A and B are shown apart, each in its own frame.
Chain A
Amino acid sequence: MTDLQLWLSAVEMGCFFGMLALAYYLIHVGAGFFNFAIGPYAMMGGLCTSWLVITYDLGVWPAAAAAVAVTVVLAAVTELGVVRPVQRRSGGGELPALVAVAAVLFAIQQLAGYVFGYPTLPGQSLATFDPVTVGEVTVQPSSLLMIVVALLSFALSAVWIRSTRTGRLLRAVGDSNRAAALLGLPVNRIRLIAFVLAGLVAALAGILFAPKAGVNSLSGLAWSLSGFLAVVVGGTGSVWAPLFGGMLLGLVEVFLPYYFGGQAHVYGMLFIALLFFAFKPQGLFVRTVRA
C-alpha cells in the first residue's frame, strides 16, 4: 500500500463519516437534537442489503432499494412513534430525548441481530466495473461510488435547503420548534421530512461503505459516535461543514492506526472529542447570526 492509497482510503472513510454527519445535521437543523440512531440506520441499510442478496439471492439493486425503504420507515417510526410522544410528554427536555434515542439505537441493533443474525456479512458492491488504476493508486469501484454519492448528497442537500420552500422552512423550524408552531409553520411535517431524509442518507452511506469491511448488527454504535463527532467537529454552520468534519475524522481513522498501531484511532477519537467539546463545541464552521 502506498501513501496515496492510504489517502484515498481516508477520503473514502471521510465521505462515509460525512454522510452520517449529514444525516445528523438534517435532524439537528430540523428538530434541534442529535439522533444517535443514525449509525444503526446505516447498519440497517448495509446489513439488510447483504442479507437479502445472500439469503434470497436477490439482485443488489432491488436489495438495496428494499433496505433503503426499510431504513426510511425506521427513521419515520423513530420520529412518529418514539421521539415525538416522549418529547410531547416531557416538555422538550434533553435527557428524555437522549434516553429515547438510546433506546431506539439499542432496539434497532437487537432487531437487526434477531432478523439478520449476529455474524458479520460481506458488503455488496453496487458498482460492478473493474477497478480503475490511476498512477500507483487503485480505485475500487465501491470507493468511487462512495465518494460520488457523498458529494452528490451534500450538493443536493445544499440546493434543497437553499432553494426550496421546505428546505428553508427546515431551518426556521429547527431554530425553535415552539416558536415555529406558534407562527403556524408545519413543524411536524418538516421534522418528519428531516428524519426521512436522514434515514435515506444514512442507509445509502451504510450500503456503500459495507463492502469495505463488512457489516454486523453491532456496527451501528461506533458509526453513530463517528458521525456525531464529525458533525460536532464540522459544526452546523453550513451544509458542507459535516463533510469537512467527516474528512478530518477519516484521516484520523486511517492514519493513526497506520503510524501508532491498531487501537490508536480509538484514543484519537476520544482526544478529538474532548478537545472539541471543551474548546469549540460549536464546531469549526459557525453560522453567523445577523443581529
Chain B
Amino acid sequence: MTTQTIQPAAATAGWDIRRVPGIGGLALGGIAAVLILLWVGSDGYKQTLVTSAATYALIALGMYVPYLMAGSLSMAYSAYAGIGGYAVGLVSSKTGLPLAVAWLVGPIVAALLAVLLGLVTRRLSGFFLAAVTLLFGMAFTAFLIDAEALSGGSGGLGNLRPLNLFGWTPSHYQVVLGSAVIVCVIAFLLDRLRLSPWGVIVRTMRDAPRAVEAAGVRVPVLNLVALALGAAIAAVGGGLFTYSAGSITPDTFTLNIVFLAIFMPLIGGAGTPWGAVAGAVIAVELTLNFPAIQTSGTLLLALGVLAIMLVAPRGVVGYADKLRTRTWALLRKEPDRG
C-alpha cells in the first residue's frame, strides 16, 4: 500500500523536462524562430519571407507523414495547399461566416480529397503514384482556371476580409508571429508522433508492410489516414499563405513548390520533421532572398540537393546531430585520457 501511495509522488518528482519526447527539437526550433523573428523586425519584405517559409514548411511537414514516414511519394500537395487557400478565399468572399472557419473546412476538404485520390491510387506506388498525383495537381490547376464561378478563374480571389477571432483582429506582425508558432507546434507534434506507437506502425509500413498487416493493422487504411493527415497540414499552410498575401490565384501553389517540398527534408535531414522546417527556411532564403544571384538561387538549391543526396544523405540536421554526438564522445573521452 505504501509503495502505491508513494509512487505517484516519486513519478512527479522524477519528471524531467529533458526527458519529454521531442523537447530538444522544439527548443532548437524555438530559438531559431525567435532569432529569425528578431532579424525580421518590422521589415515588411522580411515578414513576407517568414510567411513564405512557414507555408513551405507546412507543405513539407504535410508531405513528411506519407513520404518519409509511410514511404509513398504523393505529389498532389499543390492541390491540397490550394484547397486550404481557396477555403480562406471562398469563406471570405462568398459567405458571411467567420474567417476562422476556413481553417477548419479547408483541411477537412483537403483530407477528404486525399482519401479519395488515395482510394483511386491505392494499388500504385513509386513512379506510378508520383506521375498520377502530379497529373492530378495539373488537373486541379486547370479546374481552378475553368471553374470561374467558383474560383474566380485565372484572376483568383482577392480582397480578403481580416481575420476576427472573438473580436480580436491580429496585426500583420502578429500573423507573422502566429505562422512561426504554428510551424513550431506542428513540427513538435509530428516529431512526437514519429516516436509514438502510431508513428512506429506507419514507419514500419515503409519497409515491412507485411509485418504490419500480420500484426493486425490494415495497411491500405492506415495509408489513407496518413495521406489525409498530410493533406490537412498542407491545407493549413495554404490558408496561412493566402491570408497573409491577401489573395490567391491558380498559380499561387505550383508544382515547383511540390518539388521543393520533396527536397526540403533532404536538405534539412529526413530523420526529424525539424529537418523539413530547416529545409524550408534554406529554400526560401535561396529562392526568394538571394539578391546577389537571384535567378540562380533555385539552381543553387537544385544542385545543393543533388550534392546532399550524394554526400550527406542525412541532411543538415542529421549532420549537425552527428557532429554533436561526436563532440560529446570526444569531450567524454578526454578526461579519461588525461
Binding site for B on A (CB under 8 A): 33-34, 36, 81-82, 85-86, 89, 94-95, 98-100, 102-107, 109-111, 113-114, 221-222, 225, 228-229, 232, 261, 263, 266-267, 269-270, 273-274, 277-278, 281
Question: Which of A85, A99, A267 interacts with B310 by CB under 8 Å?
Answer: A85
List the interface of chain B (C-beta within 8 A of A).
Answer: 71, 73, 120-121, 123-128, 130-132, 134-136, 138-139, 142-143, 145-146, 255, 259, 262-263, 266, 295-296, 298-299, 301-303, 305-306, 309-310, 313
> Once the chains are docked, how many angstroms separate the CA of A270 from the CA of B135?
6
What residue of chain B has the Cβ atom nearest to residue A229's Cβ?
B131
Q: Give complex CA distance A110, B120 in Å.
A: 33
Contact A102 B299 (CB under 8 A): no
B76 to chain A, nearest CB (A): 11
Minimum CB distance partner of B129 in chain A: A277
A86 near B127: Cβ-Cβ < 8 Å: no
B303 CB → nearest A CB, Å = 6
Decide if B142 touches A263 in the complex (CB within 8 Å): yes
- Report A21 CB to chain B, min CB distance, Å: 13
Q: Which residues of A contact B132 (CB under 8 A)?
A: 270, 273-274, 277
Q: Which of A34, A261, A267 contacts B127 (CB 8 A)?
A: A34
On whether the beta carbons of B128 and A232 are closer than 8 Å, the reply is yes
Given A98-B73, A110-B298, A270-B132, answer yes or no on A277-B121 (Cβ-Cβ < 8 Å).
yes
Complex Cα gap A107–B303 (Å): 6
A225/B302 contact (C-beta < 8 A), A99-B266, A281-B128 known: no
Determine if B120 and A278 form an interchain contact, defined as CB atoms under 8 angstroms apart: yes
Chain A residues with CB under 8 Å of B313's CB are 89
Kindly list chain B residues whose C-beta atoms are within 8 Å of the C-beta of A94.
125-127
Question: 5 A–B contact pairs at CB < 8 A?
Answer: A106-B302, A110-B301, A225-B135, A266-B142, A281-B124
Asked if B306 and A102 sit within 8 Å, CB to CB, the answer is no
Chain A residues near B135 (CB-CB < 8 A) = 225, 229, 266, 269-270, 273
Taken together as a complex, chains A and B put the C-alpha atoms of A263 and B148 apart, in Å, by 13
CB < 8 Å: which of B124, B139, B306 contacts A270? B139
Tell which of A109, A110, A266, A281 touches B138, judged by Cβ atoms closer than 8 Å: A266
Main secondary structure of the interface of A (DSSP, over half): helix
Whether the Cβ atoms of B126 and A103 lie closer than 8 Å is no
Chain A, Cβ-Cβ closest to B127: A34
- The chain A residue with its CB closest to the CB of B137 is A270
Complex partner residue of B299 from A113, A273, A274, CB under 8 angstroms: A113
A114 partner residues in chain B, CB cutoff 8 A: 295-296, 299
The 4 closest A-B pairs by CB, nearest first: A107-B302, A263-B142, A110-B299, A94-B126
Chain B residues, CB < 8 A from A225: 131, 134-135, 138
**Residues A113 and B73 in contact, CB atoms below 8 Å apart:** no
Residues of A close to B306: CB separation below 8 A: 82, 103-104, 107
When the two chains form the complex, which single residue of B139, B145, B301, B310 contacts A82, counting CB atoms closer than 8 Å?
B310
B66 to chain A minimum Cβ distance, whole angstroms, is 11
B299 contacts A263, C-beta separation under 8 Å: no
- Whether B131 and A273, one on each chain, are in contact in the complex, defined by CB atoms closer than 8 angstroms, is yes
B128 and A103 contacting across the interface, CB-CB below 8 Å? no
| Residues of chain A within 8 A of B130, CB atoms compared | 36, 98, 102
Question: Among the listed A106, A222, A270, which residue makes an inter-chain contact with B259, where contact means beta carbons less than 8 Å apart?
Answer: A106
Distance between B206 CB and nearest chain A CB, rounded to angstroms: 8
Q: How far is the CB of B297 from chain A (nearest CB, A)?
A: 9
Do residues B131 and A98 form an inter-chain contact, with CB atoms below 8 A? no
| A94 CA to B248 CA, complexed, in Å | 36
A107-B299 contact given A94-B126, A100-B309, A277-B132, CB 8 Å threshold: yes
- State the CA gap A33–B126 with chains docked (Å): 10
A86 to B138, CA, bound (A): 29
B139 to chain A, nearest CB (A): 4
Chain B residues within 8 Å of A106, by CB: 259, 263, 302, 305
Report the minimal beta-carbon distance from B257 to chain A, rounded to whole angstroms.
12
Given A269-B135, A273-B132, the answer on whether A102 and B259 have CB atoms closer than 8 Å is yes
Chain B residues near A103 (CB-CB < 8 A): 263, 266, 302, 305-306, 309
Residues of A within 8 A of B303 (CB): 107
Closest to A99 in B: B262
Q: Is the CB of B299 within 8 A of A95?
A: no
- Look across to chain A and name the residue whose beta carbon is closest to the beta carbon of B254: A218
Which residues of B have CB within 8 Å of A109? 302
Q: Are A266 and B73 in contact (CB under 8 A)?
A: no
Residues of B within 8 A of A113 (CB): 295, 298-299
